[in-house]
Amino acid sequence: MSLSNFRPALKAFLFVVLTALSGWGEEGAAKPEWEKVFHRQNVKGTIVIVDERKDEPVSLVFDRGRAGTRFCPASTFKIPHALFALDAGVVRDEFQVFPWDGKKRWLEAWNGDQNLRSSMRNSVVWVYERFAEEIGEEREKEYLERSGYGNQSPSGEQPFWLEGDLRISAFEQIAFLQKLYRNQLPFSKEHQRLVKDVMIVEAKKSWILRAKTGWNGSVGWWVGWVEHPEGAVFFALNIDTPQRMEDLPKREGIAREILESLSAL
């Protein structure tokens, strides 16, 4: 590896280590001007962005207090859950078909056979409920602890990532995504690469967007990163959704506006 290639890699590695050791990930530069973006959408929320396109990564946050508050991860948990299922052998690959049980559900995209890619793209809850049933609560707990994911609790009402006790903050979402991006989670690189592949939302000539939405009825999420040749731009947004489904498009709307202002999209 040439010196010019080694330095950015070393800086990225040191950034992750220092973040973990110092709690730097819950600092970063405050961006109070982003309040107007949330205000225009008439919602309360937070967003954390870590921009690694330069030699010195930049952390930006709106509403630091909320960014450090843990909420139900809802379907953003499908990112680690897919890794758990692959590691446990519940899922072989992206081609394995999960037969529909014939029960009509509220979202038409859920009413049919699924695979890993479609269940991630369409956020098909019943597929991941099957994963949870096959993995079992004890092993789910082991995977959560191994991954350091949020409060690491699969207890409470089921599904535990929607109705139960599992909670995670926006800062913690970023830390998890950074490890996944670098294949540094305690799972095989093959499985991490596969999950990243099924997370692709959009791709242009100069960037790739990998992300996942989440919603539990009261809080909506959009988390992920935008890959550029110079490095990744990570983001984690959550908002209150008092208008329920009317508020759901605001997740991506707010995050995209802010990412575009940073020339990340």
Strands 45-51 and 58-62: antiparallel
3-state DSSP assignment of residue 208: strand
Sequence-distant (≥ 6) Cβ neighbours of residue 12 within 8 angstroms: 52, 57, 182, 231
Domains, the chain: 3-261 (3.40.710.10)
Predicted model pTM: 0.88
The per-residue pLDDT for 8 is 46
For residue 178, which of 61, 72, 20, 63 has the smallest C-alpha distance? Answer: 20
The per-residue pLDDT for 26 is 56
Residue type, 41: Q
Residues that are catalytic? 75
The per-residue pLDDT for 55 is 86
Residue 79: left (phi > 0), alpha (psi -120 to 50), or beta? alpha
User: Cα–Cα distances in Å, from 83 out to 72, 159, 212, 236?
Assistant: 19, 17, 14, 19
Contact (Cβ atoms closer than 8 angstroms) between residue 83 and residue 185: yes
- What is the distance between the alpha carbons of residues 51 and 234, in angstroms, rounded to a whole number? 6
For the chain, the farthest-separated pair of C-alpha atoms sits apart, in whole angstroms, at: 58
Any idea which residue has 């446990």 for tokens? 88
Contact (Cβ atoms closer than 8 angstroms) between residue 213 and residue 221: yes
For residue 175, which of 54, 24, 74 has the smallest C-alpha distance? Answer: 24
Cα 54 to its chain centre, rounded Å, is 22
CA-CA-CA-CA dihedral for 177, 165, 65, 48, to nearest 10: 20
Composition of the chain by helix, strand, coil, percent to 5: 45, 20, 35
| Exposed/middle/buried for residue 153 (C-beta within 10 Å: 0-12, 13-18, 19+) | middle
Average confidence score pLDDT of the chain: 91
What is the mean pLDDT of each successive set of 10 residues along the chain, which is 265 residues long?
Answer: 46 45 58 97 97 94 98 98 98 95 93 97 97 97 98 96 97 98 98 98 96 97 97 98 96 98 96
The per-residue pLDDT for 38 is 98
